[in-house]
Structure 1
Amino acid sequence: MPRHRVDPARGSAPTPLLPRPYAITGGRTEIRLDIAIEALVVTNAVHGQRGSQPEHDAILVRCVEPTSVAELSALLRVPIGVARVLVADLASLGLVSVSGSAGDAPSVALMERVLSGLHSL
């Protein structure tokens, strides 16, 4: 039977308790990839291919369209660190592609053009 708690903001309607973050990641906090929170994630999985956890499956469904790691964190209602671990798991299995990671910094020339454009406003 699922455990519930009473949320005072919602009156007496019980809300289900969420699993602890360490239970979702198996206690892992380190990731093999340097994934920025603004990195975009897109599903590579063939229709019906599944991850090893329900959260993996939720990411695969949501990332048919490019979705940032920060958005995934909010949609899954998990801390950003947990979302990064889950995305790294799927990327290591080849089920998602991650673009815009911390290593994909824009060029200095691009940054200067953006700054120049902002100054002209």
Structure 2
Amino acid sequence: MQVSRVRHIDCSAPDASGEYAYDYEYDIYHFVDGGIGLIARSYTDTPEEAHFLNIEANGTLRLLTQADLAQPLFALAQDYLRQEGKRELRWLSGRGDGYEPLPGGMPSPA
């Protein structure tokens, strides 16, 4: 498995007083094995959390499905993130519930 981590900063332009309407700093993790890639994000203000966002297969990026969570790469990515201190792992299912706990008792306690 190959892993990359890139820091991102997303913020509004400062207003007249120098304040920002929003200011987010986060790391994007990209886990790749063969033709499959997983993308996860962790915000710097909640360093114990990480969220799996998408999967890339054969050059196509899409939301994760329940079946994707059983992929060997998913287990390797979880292990890596836990070694990085990420104890609360969630995934974006696309069902309208936002980030959901991993099924089957896989999430770590907060």
Same fold by TM-score, threshold 0.5 exceeded? no
Structure with bigger RCO (C-alpha 8 Å, 6+ apart)? 1
**Which structure has the bigger radius of gyration?**
1
Higher strand share: 2
In the superposition, the TM-score normalised over structure 2's length comes to 0.29
TM-score by length of 1: 0.28
More helix by share: 1
